[in-house]
Chains A and B, each alone.
Chain A
Amino acid sequence: MTAAGQSLPEQAFAGLQLPLSYWSADLRLLAFNPAFSACFDCFKGGIPLGITRAKFIDEVERAGLLVQVEAAPSDDGQTDVQPKLYFSDGSVYQLQSWQGPDGNWTALCVDITAAHRNERALRKAKDAATAADQSKSRFLRAANHDLRQPLAALKILIYSCIAAQTDDDRQQSLHAMEVSVAIMEDLLGALLNIGQLDAGKIRPSIQTFQISTVLDRLKVQFDYQAREKGLKFHIVPSTEAVTSDRILLERIISNFVSNAIRYTDVGRVVVGCRRVGGHLRIHVIDTGPGIPEEFHQEIFEEFFRISKHQDKRRHSLGLGLNISQRLANILGHPITLKSMVDRGSNFAIEVPLGNIWHSTIGEPEINEQIGGEFAGLACLLIEDDPHVRAALSSLLQRWGISVDTLANLNDIPASVAALERQPDIIVTDYRLNRELLGTEIVNEVNEILEKPCPALVITADTAPQLIESIRNQGYPVLIKPVGPPGLRVMMHNLLFEPEAIAELQ
Chain B
Amino acid sequence: MVPLTGTSASDGREFRNGLILAVEEINERGGIVGRPVEPVFQDTGSQSAEAVVRAARTLITTHGVSAIINGYNIGPQNSEYEPIADAGIIYIHHNTLLQHHDTVASDPERYFGCFMADPAEYWYGQGFIKFLSWLRDSGRWRPRNRKIAIISGPKPYSIVIANAMNACAKQFGWSTDPAPIILRNLQPDWQNILTRVREADPAVLAFTHFHAGDLAKFHLEFMKNPLPVLLYLQYGALHKSFSNIVGTRARGTIVGTVIGLLRDDLGRSFAQKYRQRFGQSSTPEVGCQPYVALHHYAIAAGVAGAVGNPGDFGTNRRIARALLDIPYRSVAGTIRFHPKWQAAIPYPDATNDPSMGLPHLFYQLRDPEDAPALIAPEPFSDSQFELPPWLGAAISEGLK
Bits for B83-118, please: 1 = Cβ < 8 Å to A, else 0: 000000000000000110111011000000000000
Interface centre among A238, A373, A483 (most CB of B within 10 A): A373
Contact pick for B102, options A356, A367, A486, A498, CB 8 Å: A367
**Additional A-B contacts beyond A361-B171, A496-B159 (12; CB < 8 A):** A210-B171, A210-B173, A239-B133, A356-B133, A357-B377, A365-B340, A366-B122, A366-B123, A366-B350, A371-B164, A485-B76, A485-B77
A373:B160 contact, CB within 8 angstroms: yes
List chain A residues, Cβ under 8 A from B101.
Answer: 366-368
A499 located at the interface, meaning its Cβ lies under 8 Å from any Cβ of chain B in the complex: yes
Number of B interface residues in the complex (CB < 8 A): 44
What is the bound-complex CA distance between A399 and B101, given in angstroms? 11
A372 located at the interface, meaning its Cβ lies under 8 Å from any Cβ of chain B in the complex: yes
List chain B residues, Cβ under 8 A from A371.
Answer: 98, 120, 122, 125, 160, 163-164, 167
Q: Which residues of B in the span 163-215 have a Cβ within 8 Å of any Cβ on A?
A: 163-164, 167-168, 170-173, 182, 184-185
What is the bound-complex CA distance between A237 and B173, given in angstroms? 8
The number of residue pairs between A and B whose CB atoms lie closer than 8 Å in the complex comes to 107
A358 located at the interface, meaning its Cβ lies under 8 Å from any Cβ of chain B in the complex: yes
* Shortest 5 CB-CB contacts between residues of A and residues of B: A239-B173, A485-B79, A357-B348, A371-B122, A373-B159
A28 located at the interface, meaning its Cβ lies under 8 Å from any Cβ of chain B in the complex: no
Interchain nearest-CB distance for B339 vs A (Å):
12
Listed A/B pairs (23) with beta-carbon separation below 8 Å: A212-B172, A356-B130, A356-B133, A356-B172, A357-B130, A357-B377, A366-B341, A368-B101, A370-B167, A371-B98, A371-B160, A371-B164, A372-B160, A376-B163, A399-B102, A483-B79, A483-B82, A485-B82, A488-B77, A488-B99, A492-B77, A496-B156, A499-B185
Interchain nearest-CB distance for A250 vs B (Å):
14
Who on chain A is nearest to B146 by CB?
Answer: A239
Who on chain A is nearest to B125 by CB?
Answer: A371
B154 located at the interface, meaning its Cβ lies under 8 Å from any Cβ of chain A in the complex: yes
List chain B residues, Cβ under 8 A from A370.
Answer: 167
Q: Which residues of A in the span 353-380 have a Cβ within 8 Å of any Cβ on B?
A: 355-359, 361-362, 365-368, 370-373, 375-376
With A371-B160, A485-B76 already in contact, the answer to whether A212 and B122 are too (CB < 8 A) is no
B47 located at the interface, meaning its Cβ lies under 8 Å from any Cβ of chain A in the complex: no
What is the bound-complex CA distance between A489 and B80, given in angstroms? 13
A210:B172 contact, CB within 8 angstroms: yes
Q: Which residues of A in the span 471-492 have a Cβ within 8 Å of any Cβ on B?
A: 483-486, 488-489, 492
Band of interface residues on A: 35 or more
B78 located at the interface, meaning its Cβ lies under 8 Å from any Cβ of chain A in the complex: yes
Who on chain B is nearest to A210 by CB?
Answer: B171
Interface residues of A (CB under 8 A from B): 208, 210, 212-213, 237-240, 355-359, 361-362, 365-368, 370-373, 375-376, 398-399, 483-486, 488-489, 492, 496-499
A368:B99 contact, CB within 8 angstroms: yes
Interchain nearest-CB distance for A5 vs B (Å):
64
Interface centre among A237, A238, A484 (most CB of B within 10 A): A484
With A237-B173, A361-B171, A372-B99 already in contact, the answer to whether A485 and B78 are too (CB < 8 A) is yes
What is the bound-complex CA distance between A366 and B381, given in angstroms? 26
What is the bound-complex CA distance between A499 and B154, given in angstroms? 11
A366:B156 contact, CB within 8 angstroms: no
Q: Which residues of B in the span 129-161 have a Cβ within 8 Å of any Cβ on A?
A: 130, 133-134, 136-137, 154, 156, 159-160
What is the bound-complex CA distance between A356 and B171, given in angstroms? 11
Q: Which residues of B in the span 297-337 have a Cβ within 8 Å of any Cβ on A?
A: none
List chain A residues, Cβ under 8 A from B160.
Answer: 371-373
Contact pick for B98, options A208, A366, A483, A485, CB 8 Å: A366
B62 located at the interface, meaning its Cβ lies under 8 Å from any Cβ of chain A in the complex: no
With A371-B164, A371-B167, A497-B184 already in contact, the answer to whether A358 and B125 are too (CB < 8 A) is no
B276 located at the interface, meaning its Cβ lies under 8 Å from any Cβ of chain A in the complex: no
Interchain nearest-CB distance for A453 vs B (Å):
15
What is the bound-complex CA distance between A376 and B103, given in angstroms? 19
Interchain nearest-CB distance for B194 vs A (Å):
21
List chain B residues, Cβ under 8 A from A357.
Answer: 130, 134, 348, 352, 377
B49 located at the interface, meaning its Cβ lies under 8 Å from any Cβ of chain A in the complex: yes
List chain A residues, Cβ under 8 A from B168.
Answer: 361
Interface centre among A237, A355, A362, A399 (most CB of B within 10 A): A355
Interchain nearest-CB distance for B348 vs A (Å):
4
Interchain nearest-CB distance for B152 vs A (Å):
9
What is the bound-complex CA distance between A367 and B82, given in angstroms? 20
Interface residues of B (CB under 8 A from A): 49, 76-79, 82, 98-99, 101-103, 105-106, 120, 122-123, 125-126, 130, 133-134, 136-137, 154, 156, 159-160, 163-164, 167-168, 170-173, 182, 184-185, 340-341, 348, 350, 352, 377
Interchain nearest-CB distance for A360 vs B (Å):
9
B184:A368 contact, CB within 8 angstroms: no
Who on chain B is nearest to A209 by CB?
Answer: B171
What is the bound-complex CA distance between A366 and B377, given in angstroms? 21
List chain B residues, Cβ under 8 A from A240.
Answer: 137
Contact pick for B49, options A208, A368, A485, CB 8 Å: A485
With A370-B167, A496-B159 already in contact, the answer to whether A361 and B126 are too (CB < 8 A) is yes
What is the bound-complex CA distance between A376 and B79, given in angstroms? 24
List chain A residues, Cβ under 8 A from B340.
Answer: 365
B172:A359 contact, CB within 8 angstroms: yes
A492:B79 contact, CB within 8 angstroms: no
Interchain nearest-CB distance for B246 vs A (Å):
26
List chain B residues, Cβ under 8 A from A362.
Answer: 171
A239:B102 contact, CB within 8 angstroms: no
Interchain nearest-CB distance for A361 vs B (Å):
5
List chain B residues, Cβ under 8 A from A355.
Answer: 352
What is the bound-complex CA distance between A492 and B106, given in angstroms? 20
Who on chain A is nearest to B102 by CB?
Answer: A368
Interchain nearest-CB distance for A275 vs B (Å):
10
What is the bound-complex CA distance between A399 and B105, given in angstroms? 12
Interchain nearest-CB distance for B137 vs A (Å):
6
A372:B77 contact, CB within 8 angstroms: no
Interchain nearest-CB distance for B85 vs A (Å):
12
Interface centre among A210, A357, A359, A498 (most CB of B within 10 A): A357
Interchain nearest-CB distance for A359 vs B (Å):
7
Interchain nearest-CB distance for A505 vs B (Å):
13
Interchain nearest-CB distance for B237 vs A (Å):
22
Who on chain A is nearest to B79 by CB?
Answer: A485
B182:A496 contact, CB within 8 angstroms: yes
Who on chain B is nearest to A399 by CB?
Answer: B102
What is the bound-complex CA distance between A472 and B339, given in angstroms? 47
A359:B122 contact, CB within 8 angstroms: no
What is the bound-complex CA distance between A213 and B172, given in angstroms? 9
Who on chain A is nearest to B352 by CB?
Answer: A358
What is the bound-complex CA distance between A5 and B133, given in angstroms? 91
Contact pick for A372, options B98, B126, B173, B377, CB 8 Å: B98
Contact pick for B172, options A239, A365, A376, CB 8 Å: A239
List chain B residues, Cβ under 8 A from A366.
Answer: 98, 101, 120, 122-123, 341, 350
List chain A residues, Cβ under 8 A from B377.
Answer: 357
List chain A residues, Cβ under 8 A from B133.
Answer: 239, 356
Who on chain B is nearest to A369 by CB?
Answer: B102
What is the bound-complex CA distance between A357 and B133, given in angstroms? 9
With A357-B134, A498-B184 already in contact, the answer to whether A492 and B156 are too (CB < 8 A) is yes
What is the bound-complex CA distance between A247 and B10, given in angstroms? 50
With A371-B98, A371-B167, A373-B163 already in contact, the answer to whether A212 and B173 are too (CB < 8 A) is yes
B98:A496 contact, CB within 8 angstroms: no
Interchain nearest-CB distance for A399 vs B (Å):
7
